[in-house]
Each structure stands twice: as structure tokens, then as C-alpha cells.
Amino acid sequence: MPYGRRAPITQKGGKILRSFGVALWFMFLTFPIMVIKISPLEKNIEWRWGRMIYVGAGAFVLSLLWRYVIEQKRGPIPKEEADPLKVDTKDTGWNRGGSHSLQERLAIFFHKNKKFRILTFTGLFFIIAAFPFVFSTYQTSIIITALMYVMLGLGLNIVVGLAGLLDLGYVAFYASGAYFYALMNHHFGLGFWAALPMAGALAAIMGLLLGFPVLRLRGDYLAIVTLGFGEIIRLVLENWNEFSLGPSGIARIDRPGTLGIDFDLRDHTVYLYYIVVVLVAFTIIVVSRLRNSRIGRAWIALREDEVACQAMGIDKTKTKLTAFALGATWAGFVGCILAAKTTFINPASFTFMESAIILSIVVLGGMGSIFGIILGALVLILLPEYLRAFSEYRMLVFGASMVIIMVFRPQGIIGGTRKRHEFHVKEPTGEKP
Amino acid sequence: MEYFLELFFGGLTRGSIYALIAIGYTMVYGIIQLINFAHGEIYMIGAFTALIAASALSIEGFGGWSLLVLAGFIAIVYSAAYGFTLEKIAYKPLRKASRLSPLISAIGMSIFLQNYVLLAQTSDFLPFPPLIEEFSFLEQVTVMRSSELLILSVTAVSTALLTLFIKFTRMGKAMRAVAQDKTMAMLLGVNVDRVISVTFIIGSTLAAIGGVLISSHIGQINFYIGFIAGIKAFTAAVLGGIGSLPGAVLGGMVLGWTESFATGYVSSDYEDVFAFGLLVFILIFRPAGILGKSTAEKI
């Protein structure tokens, strides 16, 4: 029996019975928290037995569904175990034309059909350009947020996806960009356009500052130090009142300058929308160019094997530090945009949860894949927004969907594909040229 | 001097709770190299179950030590059940996936469990009944409360029991084998799935013990306590050297003292800054934690 694969349930009704067991288990599990409600002041207990039935029924159905989906994913169980000694004559080790995944086939199709490609891009361009005029200010504002997270995701992807450095404190750079613009605007009246590149540069310097002490750390030690770094930044912002105006935050930050033209709120939102769209396009171009550049390939090599990478003459220190700095830059930009968008910031916007959400965008979307990250950001940011109908249940659904996506698609919605050259063996036709 | 001692014991108490939770992190990490971000939530669920059980039982007429023991027992059973189920749902299907996937699954589970408790119970702080009775022989002592003494002794006993378990039982031996080399252990007939389940159950049990004791000591809980405690305990585990049991205990103590003295002598606002600052400082000089062994990589 291969590891991790349970014996298939063969007898009739076995699935039902097992799901029934799961339902009973969950009824037991949720009993104290779902059923009993105590009010500590009046010292009485409310028993909510009705909920137990819901839990039981829900667990039963979900368990059947879960098992069905997992079985579908694994494909049909082979009648006889494959003989490990029998060499599969068809597979010669070279990847042939027919064995591509759907995603790869789409990419190839997209690459070959020039007409189709142009059509798609023009269509996309018009949809994006027309969006704020078709939809309400509220919708536009949500999309702006989602696009900001696309940039954050792409930035973090440099550190986590390409260089393989697990950064749980990415929010620190985001916060420093936001506070830089807010404080500069508050004290010296610095405008958005001047602050934007400076915020990016500041974040890059912060990235270097964080990068130096953690160069020697690897894996999860790095994760906790970056997490600590993020928390330290937030706590300092919260407690150092003279510097950051404390937990009450900074209000009345200027929106992006508009060359003296008077804008109302809607115009401002539309204006910001276009700024963000242009910046996202810029990010996508830079990040995709970076990935295929010398430094980008060095990051990937570093992620795959540090020792081998050094043996090939790649400077580990320089490579890691550039990853931190270039990753952080985008967070600085987005922080600056956040301050300009909301015109109010406080330390509570920069908790660890924020880092976790950005990391989830990267991993859920598919590490290393730009399209995947865009999709991940749209899903993770728009999902809670449009789930507002369920208001109080939305975070519950959000957490559950993170688990479910990971369980059923561990490589993310769209897994990152590496550039590769393929070698196609032509079938020998029998005649010599 | 008295103030110092008070802070010392306060830090030790906090440290023991961190240690109890950190053991869960460190054991899971040692076996499947996963940061179980939902571990703090298990601790929170333990505290909530204890609160509910204690309230229900005290209406039934239980009181005194029997109430603490019963409520604690129920909390342990439920926490262990949650830990077991958590692993089966969120981590087991991902055992062969890349290392970040279970991490995201863990974060998702943490959000889910927090909101589950929030929706099923309440978002307010609930008063936790003082389950720990005052010891009469401690009446003259001003530097230490009886709940602190109890927390210290329970921590000492449970870590000692755990060490014995890992050193001398069959399951403990299997755990060490899996931690060293999972594939090899499997080849030698160790039931890896069961070992992982037992690890989650033990970790959850200790988290529940910590949850019940500290909630009773502090006197209030809400759905969010697990998150903070989880991050602190994880810090403690890394500080001591992740994967090492004595490391987790030592890391917890060091973290507890740092926080306690920082609060007492500097300012309570910066207690977390000191905690994380110390972590960064120690890791710069000892990149594998205080007791962690930095292994040379073989090529």
C-alpha cells in the first residue's frame, strides 16, 4: 500500500457509514462551543441543541463531498498495482508534445496565435480603461484595493517566490512607506508624486537593514525574525507618540496632486484608479523582466540550492540583499498609495494578519506565477468584500476557503511554470534524407 | 528586592505558559517541519472549553479542586480532539506539498477557528472563574501568588512526564525516529501517520493545560487570546532552538523574564519590542537558537 493512500472503501454503504462517523465526531467536537452558551453574570446556561443537528447534517454532507473530490483528484484506483520493474516504454524521459497540462497548452496556444493575443490584450485594455465609468465609485475603490494587493503580492513574490526567503514581516515595509508619506505630508507638506519614489527608496533601505542581520538565518528562523521585525515596527509606531502620533494615527493626508484642477471625491477615486493601474502594469513589466534577468535567475538558483549556487560563483550576500531590497520597494510604493487613498493611517492597519494575507496571495495564487498572483489578490481581496452579504460569516468562509484551496490545489490556483526548452524527438519515418 | 522577586516569579509563570505552548510547536516542527500557526487557537479553544465546562459544572454544584480538575480534564480532551482533527483536515492532505502550502492552510485554519469561536460564543471578554484555590501556606508570602506556584509545578511535572515519555516509551522512540528521518522510520515499520497524530494530541494537551491555568490566573478570555499567545510561544520555541524540547522550555523562560522585567522596569508599552528585539539579537549570534545545533550541510 503506497504511503498516504488509504485502502479504498469497497463494501457497499461504507462511504455512508464513514461519513456518518465523521458527522458524529464533529457533533462531539463542536458540542461545548456550539451548543452551550453561558452568560457568566446571570449564571445560567442556554442549551442550543438545534445547532447540533445542523453541525451533524453539515459534516455528513461535507465529508461525502470531501471524499468524492479527493477520489476524483487522485483519478480512478488502478485495478492492479503497477509493476515497478516494468519499464514504461512510452516514456523516454523527454517531455513530448502531448503531456502538457491544460495551463501549459493554453499558454502555448496563446503564444502561437498572434491575432488572438492582440484581441485579448485590446479587450482587456478597454475593460480596464472603462471600468471606473461603468461601475460605481465604491466598486472602483474596492478594485483599487485589490490592485494594491496585486502589487504587494508581486513584491513579496520576489522575496518568497523567487528567492525562497520566507518573509512574515512584509507589512513593515508597507507601513514604512505609508508613514513616510503621511509624516512628510503632515510636517512638511510634501506631495504624493515626490513622496512616491522616496517611499520606495526608504522601503528598499529598510529591506537592506532587515536583510543584513538575517543573512545567516535560514528557513523558519528567518520567518520568525521577519515576523518580529514587522511587530517591532508596528509597536514602535503605536507607542512612540512624539514621532508617529501614536495609536490614533495621522489624518487628513493629501490625495495625489492634480496640477491644480479641482477634483471631487469621485474624480479623485478615478484618478487614483488610473495611477494604480499604471503602477501595476509597471510592476508586472519590471517583475517579469527581473525574473528572467541574471539576478532573477540567481534568486531562483539560491532558492533551489544555496550551496550549489555559491559554488557556481553567485554572491549569496548580494543576491539575498537585492531580493529583500527590491521586494520591499513595492511595499513602499503601495504604502504611499494607501496613505493617499484613505487619507488616514494608523498602526492598526499594519498587523501581522496583513503580512499573512499578502503571503496567502502569493501562495494561493501560485508562487512565482505573475498571473496567479493577480488572480490570488483578486480572489482574496474581492472575496471578503463581496461576501459582505454574509457579513459575520465572511471571515469564517475566508479561512475555510484558504484551507480548501490549499488542500485541493497545493501548488496554488496557477502554479508557476519555469521557462524550459523542450526537446522533441521526431518519430523515425524509416527513410534517410 | 521584593519587587525584583515579584517580577522574577511573574516572568517565570508567563514563561512556563509560553513553554507549555512552545512544546507543541517544537514537537510538530521537529516531526513534520511545519509551523503550526493554528496551535494558538487550540490553546484558546482549551481555555474556552474549560470556561464553559466550569460554568456548567459549578451550576451543577461542583466546586473547589474537583471543579478545576474536571474542567481541566474536559478542556484537555477537547483540545486534543481539535488538534487531532486539525491535522487530519488541514495538514495530512498536504504532506507531500511544498513547505509553504501547509503554512497557508494553517493560517486559514487559524482564521477559521477564531471566527468559529467568535460566532458561536461571543466577541467580548468573558470573565474566567478563579478555579485555583488559594494555598493557606502562601498567605505570608507577598512575592508569589498561589496560582503562580501551581502553574510552575504543573509545568514542571508535565514537562518531566513528557521527557520520560519521549525517552522511554515505544511511541517516544518512534517519535524521535520520525523526527530524525521520516522515510527511514517508515521503512523500519514505524506508523508515521499515528506518530504525527500522537504528536498533535500531546501538543494540544499541553496547550490546553497552559490555557486553563493562565486563564484562571488572569481571569478573562476572548477569542483572540490564542493568536498573541501563539506568536509568543513560537518565538520562545525558536529562541530556544526549534525542534528541541529543553530549548522550548528555556526559550519560554527567557521570553517570560524579558517581558516581565521590561514591563516592570521600563514600560509595559514596549514589552513586546523587548521580546522580539531579544529574539533578533540572540539569533544574530546563535542562528539556530540557544540550544539548537547548527548542522553543517552535507553535499
* A216: chain B residues, CB-CB within 8 Å: 284, 287
- HEC assignment per residue over A132-159: HHHCCHHHHHHHHHHHHHHHHHHHHHHH
Do the Cβ atoms of A224 and B235 come within 8 Å?
yes
Residue A114 has pLDDT above 50, yes or no: yes
Average pLDDT over residues A183-196: 86
Out of A51, A232, A395, the one facing B277 most closely (by C-beta) is A232
Residue A118 has pLDDT above 50, yes or no: yes
Do the Cβ atoms of B284 and A43 come within 8 Å?
no
Q: What are phi and psi of A337, to 5 degrees?
A: -65, -40
Residue A370 has pLDDT above 50, yes or no: yes
Q: Which of A243-252, A277-286, A390-399 has the highest mean pLDDT?
A: A277-286
- This model of the complex carries an ipTM of 0.86
C-alpha–C-alpha distance, residues A322 and A318, integer Å: 6
Domain range annotation of chain B: 2-285
* A213: chain B residues, CB-CB within 8 Å: 280, 283-284
Nearest to B241 by CA among B295, B296, B292: B292
C-alpha–C-alpha distance, residues B197 and B234, integer Å: 20
Q: How far is CA B43 from CA B18, B203, B244, in A?
A: 11, 10, 20
Q: What is the pLDDT of residue A269?
A: 84
Position A425 confidence tier, pLDDT thresholds 50, 70, 90: low
Among B36, B99, B107, B278, most A C-beta atoms within 10 A, so best to mutate, is B107
CA of B200 to nearest chain A CA: how many angstroms apart?
16
**Which spans in chain B are helix H?**
2-32, 39-59, 64-86, 100-120, 146-168, 170-180, 182-187, 192-218, 225-240, 245-261, 271-285
For B:159-198, CB contacts with A below 8 A are: 186, 192
* B216: chain A residues, CB-CB within 8 Å: none
C-alpha–C-alpha distance, residues B201 and A292, integer Å: 46
* Cell numbers representing residue A408 in the block: 485541493
* Cβ atoms of B108 and A401 closer than 8 Å: yes
* Cβ atoms of B278 and B255 closer than 8 Å: yes
* Cβ atoms of A357 and A398 closer than 8 Å: no
Touching check for B298 and chain A: CB below 8 Å?
Answer: no
* Cβ atoms of A220 and B37 closer than 8 Å: no
C-alpha–C-alpha distance, residues A69 and A405, integer Å: 12
- HEC assignment per residue over B239-256: HHCCCCHHHHHHHHHHHH
* Cβ atoms of B143 and B6 closer than 8 Å: yes
Touching check for B1 and chain A: CB below 8 Å?
Answer: no
Coil, helix or strand for A370?
Answer: helix
Least-confidence region, from A89-93, A124-128, A259-263: A89-93
Q: What is the pLDDT of residue A418?
A: 60
Out of B49, B94, B97, the one facing A33 most closely (by C-beta) is B49
C-alpha–C-alpha distance, residues A4 and B204, integer Å: 23
Position A417 confidence tier, pLDDT thresholds 50, 70, 90: low
CATH fold group of domain B2-285: ABC transporter involved in vitamin B12 uptake, BtuC (1.10.3470)
Out of B85, B126, B235, the one facing A40 most closely (by C-beta) is B126
C-alpha–C-alpha distance, residues A360 and B103, integer Å: 9
Please name the residue of chain B whose CA is at the shortest distance from the CA of residue A241.
B269
Position A83 confidence tier, pLDDT thresholds 50, 70, 90: very low
Do the Cβ atoms of A363 and B119 come within 8 Å?
no
Please name the residue of chain A whose CA is at the shortest distance from the CA of residue B100.
A363
C-alpha–C-alpha distance, residues A2 and A58, integer Å: 31
Residue A54 burial (CB count, 10 A): 13
* Cβ atoms of B246 and B240 closer than 8 Å: yes
Least-confidence region, from A275-289, A335-349, B38-52, B123-137: B123-137
* B129: chain A residues, CB-CB within 8 Å: 40
C-alpha–C-alpha distance, residues A264 and A252, integer Å: 15
* B283: chain A residues, CB-CB within 8 Å: 213-214, 217, 221, 225
Average pLDDT over residues A231-246: 83
Half-sphere exposure of residue B137: CA atoms within 13 angstroms, side-chain side: 2
C-alpha–C-alpha distance, residues B280 and B255, integer Å: 12
C-alpha–C-alpha distance, residues B278 and A8, integer Å: 51
For B:226-265, CB contacts with A below 8 A are: 231, 234-235, 238, 242
* Cell numbers representing residue A347 in the block: 498602526
C-alpha–C-alpha distance, residues A375 and A361, integer Å: 8
Do the Cβ atoms of A32 and B115 come within 8 Å?
no
The DSSP secondary-structure symbol of B127 reads E
C-alpha–C-alpha distance, residues A190 and A200, integer Å: 15
Out of B45, B104, B186, the one facing A363 most closely (by C-beta) is B104
Do the Cβ atoms of B116 and A221 come within 8 Å?
no
Tell me the residue ranges of DSSP E strands in A130-240.
Answer: none
Interacting residues of A312 by C-beta distance below 8 A, sequence separation 6+: A301
Q: What is the pLDDT of residue A90?
A: 44
* Cβ atoms of A144 and A272 closer than 8 Å: yes
* B287: chain A residues, CB-CB within 8 Å: 216-218, 221
| Sequential pLDDT tens for chain B (299 residues) | 788 888 888 899 989 999 999 998 899 988 888 888 899 999 999 999 998 888 888 887 777 788 888 999 999 999 999 999 999 988 888 888 877 788 888 888 998 999 899 888 888 888 888 777 777 776 677 777 788 888 899 999 999 999 999 999 999 999 999 988 888 999 999 999 999 999 999 999 999 999 998 888 888 888 888 888 888 898 898 888 888 888 899 999 999 999 899 888 887 777 888 888 888 888 888 877 788 776 665 55
C-alpha–C-alpha distance, residues B211 and B131, integer Å: 12
Per-residue pLDDT of A130-183, as tens digits, reads 787 778 888 888 889 999 999 999 999 888 888 888 888 899 999 999 999 999
Which H/E stretch holds residue A193?
helix A192-211
* Cell numbers representing residue B287 in the block: 542562528
Touching check for B201 and chain A: CB below 8 Å?
Answer: no
Out of B29, B56, B276, the one facing A228 most closely (by C-beta) is B276
Total CB pairs under 8 A between chain A and B: 178
* Cell numbers representing residue A424 in the block: 522533441
**Which spans in A10-113 are helix H?**
14-29, 49-74, 102-112
* Cβ atoms of A272 and A340 closer than 8 Å: yes
